[in-house]
Structure formats: C-alpha cells, structure tokens
Amino acid sequence: MRHVPIQSLLQTIFADQAGKTAKQRLDRAHRLAAQKSAQERKAYIERNGTTKWTPLKEHFTAELGNKCWYTEAEVVGAPLTIDHYRPKCDYWFLAFKPDNYRVSCPYANSPKHNAEHGCAGGKGDSFPLLDETKKAKGIRAIKNEKPIILDPCNEDDCKLIAFLPEGRPVLHPAYANDPVAIRRVEKSKILLNLDHPDFNSKREQLHDDIKLDIAIYEELPESSNQRRLIRARMTTRISQTAPFSVAARQYLSAHRHLDWVAGLLTN
C-alpha cells in the first residue's frame, strides 16, 4: 500500500480547466443532495453519483498509474473504480467529496473469495471503527473516528505493512507490540484482500526477480551495458506508478549495503 497524498494530488488535478469543471460538478451535486430528504438523497446519489465522480479516475490514474491504491495491483481484464473510503451509504455527506475517493480494484472494493482465509474479502460497504460509538454523523465529526481499515491516503497507515519474501503482507516489525496496529492490519488483509494468493504470488515473483537481477549485476564488469539495463529495471519497479512498488522497494532495501542499490533507493 503506497501512500497517496490526496490533498496535494487533488490540488494538481483541479488546477486545469477539466479539473475545475469536475470539481464544480461535485460541489453542485453535494449542495443538491444536502437539500433533499434522506430517502430522496439516497436515490439521487445512486442515480447521479457515478457520472460525477467517475471522471476523476482518469485524472488519478494519469498521475499515479493504472493500479489500485489499496493492493497496488494492476488487474488485467478488470476495471478500476472510484471507491468511497467511507461508504456513501453511511456517509452521504462524503459522497461527492473527492478527498474520500480511492482508486480501487474489484478485489479490494467488491467481495472476492480469498482461499488464504476461506472467506470473501473486499470492503464493499464495510467500514468498522475501533470505537463504533464515535461514528460520524457529519463532516466535522470525522476527526473523532478511528477506522480499522487501512487508508492509502494516511501515511502512518501505510507504514504498518511489510512484505515477506513469499509475497505475503504482514505487520511491520516496528509495530509488533501495538495491539491496535495488529488488529487493523489483520482485518485489512481480509477486507481489502491484501493477502490474496494472486497478489502474493506476484510479489513473490517480484522478490525473486530483484534478487536474481542483483546477483547478475554483481557478476558483471563495471562497463557492462547490461548493468545499465538492470538499474533501469530496478528504477521502474520502485516507481510510484509500478504495481507492488512498495514491496519492490522493501525487497530492494534488503540489498542497500550495495552502493548502487542505496543510490537507487535514495533517488
């Protein structure tokens, strides 16, 4: 899960005319929804919402690549969608607020069977809190909530995840004694399908490819053109638009005692 600085991202997106138009449409939809009764509002959001927030997906992917913000997967044959981090069914007042939007693959957003856990993952309309009595009824009360589901737009949440060589996501060792972190990571692994076998196998392959490339690099003469190609490949793997880039960076960090690897990670 790579950190997405949502506020600065939105500032960039809304700077041009297309972005300003999209923002105006969202603001107008929010004002209209606020004027309706609860039943009318729900129907209005279901009927008009998708056309208002879907255009932002192209802006998001243009900046950060065609991958899920939760799983970092680039899913072939399945469309990415705009997910409401806080579900619109319970948080109508955030339905048209773009800082509540996350680009999501079907595995993270919709129920998909996960053989690792023998159950369906995908957050759907689930949004458990550490303290359900603090559930917000309006925008101002959001600050009082403590969500269980990890948020890619919260940098501290992204620090809670690490990856094993076999590709499985685990709690970062730095938080081993934090019971809240343990609970949030374990629950998020299921609700976001972070631990799906397909993703684990891809991260495992990534680990093995990085390890092999480093071994080959170290055997090559300094003047070898293949060294340049390997460095370029590593740079691509850890770029923010690459699938599983956080796992790639962690796997590469295991070799940072090598000067050229340390240089790639720094740059």
Is the pLDDT reported for residue 186 higher than 60? yes
Domain ranges of the chain: 6-195, 198-266
Spell out the alpha helix ranges (H) of 35-164: 38-53, 55-64, 106-109, 155-158
Q: What is the DSSP letter of 69?
A: T
Query: For the chain, what is the mean pLDDT?
Result: 93
Comparing 235 with 223, the larger pLDDT belongs to 235
Is the pLDDT reported for residue 34 higher than 90? yes
Is the pLDDT reported for residue 69 higher than 70? yes
The band of 120, judged by pLDDT with boundaries at 50, 70 and 90, is low
Q: What is the DSSP letter of 147?
A: B
pLDDT in tens, 131-153: 999 999 999 999 999 999 999 99
The band of 121, judged by pLDDT with boundaries at 50, 70 and 90, is low
**Mean pLDDT on 238-255:** 96
Nearest to 184 by CA among 136, 153, 146: 146
Beta strands in 135-219 (DSSP E): 161-163, 169-171
Instruction: Give pLDDT, residue 115.
Output: 60
Instruction: Give pLDDT, residue 267.
Output: 83
Is the pLDDT reported for residue 188 higher than 70? yes
The band of 112, judged by pLDDT with boundaries at 50, 70 and 90, is low
**Mean pLDDT on 60-64:** 91
Quote the Cα angle for 24-83-206, to 5°.
Answer: 125
Q: 254: Cβ–Cβ under 8 A, 6 or more apart, which residues?
A: none
Calpha distance 83→94 (Å, rounded) = 12
Instruction: Give pLDDT, residue 76.
Output: 74
Nearest to 71 by CA among 130, 114, 119, 100: 114
- State pTM to two decimals: 0.91
CB 108 within 8 A of CB 71: yes
Is the pLDDT reported for residue 111 higher than 80? no
Calpha distance 95→117 (Å, rounded) = 31
Calpha distance 216→221 (Å, rounded) = 10
The band of 218, judged by pLDDT with boundaries at 50, 70 and 90, is very high
Is the pLDDT reported for residue 117 higher than 60? no
Percent of the chain with pLDDT over 70: 95
Q: Round to the nearest angstrom and report the end-to-end CA distance of the chain.
A: 20
CA atoms within 13 A on the CB side of 139: 9
Torsion of CA 132, 33, 104, 250, to 10 degrees: -60
Amino acid 200 reads N
Instruction: Give pLDDT, residue 79.
Output: 85
**Mean pLDDT on 223-235:** 95
Nearest to 104 by CA among 70, 74, 153, 76: 70
Instruction: Give pLDDT, residue 110.
Output: 74
**Mean pLDDT on 200-208:** 97
CB 138 within 8 A of CB 145: no
Instruction: Give pLDDT, residue 123.
Output: 83
